[in-house]
């Protein structure tokens, strides 16, 4: 019996160990146990475990031959397979490989074991003996003769599935059609029967490859979107850069114009100061001349007053003389 466990977001797992869902092989329950960062080792550790060990009768034992496979998702033939045989008991309820795959080798992307951060581990278990005895009902793999009508319905269903691109929601429908047709004794050519048999044998690989493609494609679209967003940001920054450069050049030109105007203002200021200093000098000289002139005027005015007094006396004497003779 083969069991497959897809462990997603593997590199982001934080717990020391993880268990898979239970599965049944040889009439017994099993599960896988994995240590993502190793069980005290620099390797991924993987074991086969008995999940109901605590509820089994005292003295129970279970002998099994089993294989644990780490699937290479790039090339299945390069998958890592470990085989062993063990008698499981209450004291040894799990058994496997502490150093299954070195962590460095696992996390090397090109090796193909960890694709889209998903690890696929498979188990093949063959129960050899057990106590209490393991009773495994003999499986009846035969199917009743398939009715021609069912065959036709299955063929039609298969044609409808094949007429379009495969989608995950048609998995069950396609599987049912293949199951019906694989047991059909009439209604199919030998080539059709061979094709259906070959496809059914690799059906799980086909689904796995499809899921891998879907994940890879989604990752591609996500990275493309991220790239486009980064490009948009770079483009916007470039446009802002050009705008800022033009603005800076405009401001540089304006600064040069202001410097030129400031030079002109400075020259006008210096000339005004120079003219003002000359004016102050001339004003000082004029003030000194005015003061000296006032002094001269005062002297002359005094002389004029004295002369007017004398003239007045002389005029009176003249008038008196004139009155005596005229």
- pLDDT score, position 260: 92
Question: DSSP for 180-228?
Answer: HHHT-SSSS-HHHHHHHHHHHHTHHHHHHHHHHHHHHHHHHHHHHHHHH
Q: Per residue, what are the HEC states of 134-178?
A: CCCCCCCCCCCCCCHHHHHHHHHHHHHHHCCCCCHHHHHHHHHHH
Domain that includes residue 171, residue range = 148-201
- N- to C-terminal Cα separation, the chain: 178
In a domain, 294, yes or no: no
In a domain, 37, yes or no: yes
In a domain, 173, yes or no: yes
Are 53 and 117 found together in one domain?
Answer: yes
CA 168, CA 74: separation in Å to the nearest integer? 21
Domain boundary among 99, 131, 163: 131
CATH of the domain at 29: 2.60.210.10
| Ordered per-residue pLDDT tens for the chain, 326 residues | 789 999 999 999 999 999 999 999 988 999 999 999 999 999 999 999 999 999 999 999 999 999 999 999 888 889 999 999 999 999 999 999 999 999 999 998 888 899 888 999 999 999 999 888 765 444 443 434 445 677 788 778 778 877 776 666 666 777 777 777 776 656 778 888 888 888 777 877 777 777 788 778 888 888 988 899 999 889 899 899 999 999 999 899 999 999 999 999 999 999 999 999 999 999 899 899 999 999 999 998 999 999 889 999 989 988 988 888 87
Of the candidates 52, 46, 17, the residue with the CA atom closest to the CA atom of residue 32: 46
Please give the tally of structural domains in the chain. Answer: 2
Are 124 and 165 found together in one domain?
Answer: no
SS3 47: strand
Q: Which residues pair with 58 in a beta bridge?
A: none
Torsion angle of C-alpha atoms 48, 51, 52, 53, degrees rounded to 10: 50
CA 123, CA 97: separation in Å to the nearest integer? 13
CA 113, CA 90: separation in Å to the nearest integer? 33
Burial (CB < 10 A; 0-12, 13-18, 19+), residue 174, is: buried
In a domain, 109, yes or no: yes
Are 112 and 164 found together in one domain?
Answer: no
Are 179 and 122 found together in one domain?
Answer: no
- pLDDT score, position 186: 63
Are 24 and 118 found together in one domain?
Answer: yes
Are 58 and 154 found together in one domain?
Answer: no
Q: pTM higher than 0.85 for the full model? A: no
């Amino acid at each position: 019996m083969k069991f497959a466990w897809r462990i997603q977001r593997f590199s982001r797992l934080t717990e020391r160990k993880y268990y898979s869902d239970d599965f049944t092989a040889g009439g017994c329950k099993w599960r896988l146990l994995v240590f993502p960062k190793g069980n005290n080792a620099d390797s991924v550790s993987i074991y086969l475990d008995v999940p109901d060990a605590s509820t089994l009768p005292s003295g129970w034992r279970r002998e099994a031959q089993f294989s644990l496979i780490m699937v290479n998702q790039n090339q299945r033939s390069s998958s890592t397979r470990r085989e062993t045989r063990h008698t499981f008991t209450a004291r040894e309820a799990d058994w496997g490989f502490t150093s299954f795959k070195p962590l460095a080798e696992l996390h090397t992307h090109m090796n193909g074991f960890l694709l889209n951060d998903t690890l696929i581990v498979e188990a093949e278990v063959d129960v050899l003996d057990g106590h209490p005895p393991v009773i495994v009902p003999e499986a009846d793999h035969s199917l009743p003769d398939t009715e021609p009508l069912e065959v036709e319905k299955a063929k039609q269903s298969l044609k409808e599935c094949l007429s379009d691109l495969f989608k995950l929601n048609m998995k069950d429908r396609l599987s049912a059609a293949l199951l019906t047709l694989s047991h059909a004794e009439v209604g199919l050519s030998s080539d059709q029967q061979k094709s259906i048999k070959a496809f059914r044998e690799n059906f799980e690989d086909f689904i796995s490859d499809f899921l891998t493609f879907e994940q890879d494609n989604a990752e591609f679209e996500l990275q493309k979107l991220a790239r486009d967003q980064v490009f948009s940001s770079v483009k916007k920054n470039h446009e802002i850069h050009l705008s800022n450069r033009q603005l800076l050049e405009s401001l540089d030109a304006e600064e040069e114009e202001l410097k030129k105007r400031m030079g002109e203002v400075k020259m006008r200021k210096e000339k005004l100061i120079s003219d003002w200093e000359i004016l102050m000098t001339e004003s000082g000289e004029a003030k000194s001349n005015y003061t000296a002139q006032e002094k001269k005027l005062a002297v002359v005015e005094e002389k004029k007053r004295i002369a007017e007094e004398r003239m007045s006396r002389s005029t009176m004497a003249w008038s008196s003389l004139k009155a005596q003779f005229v």
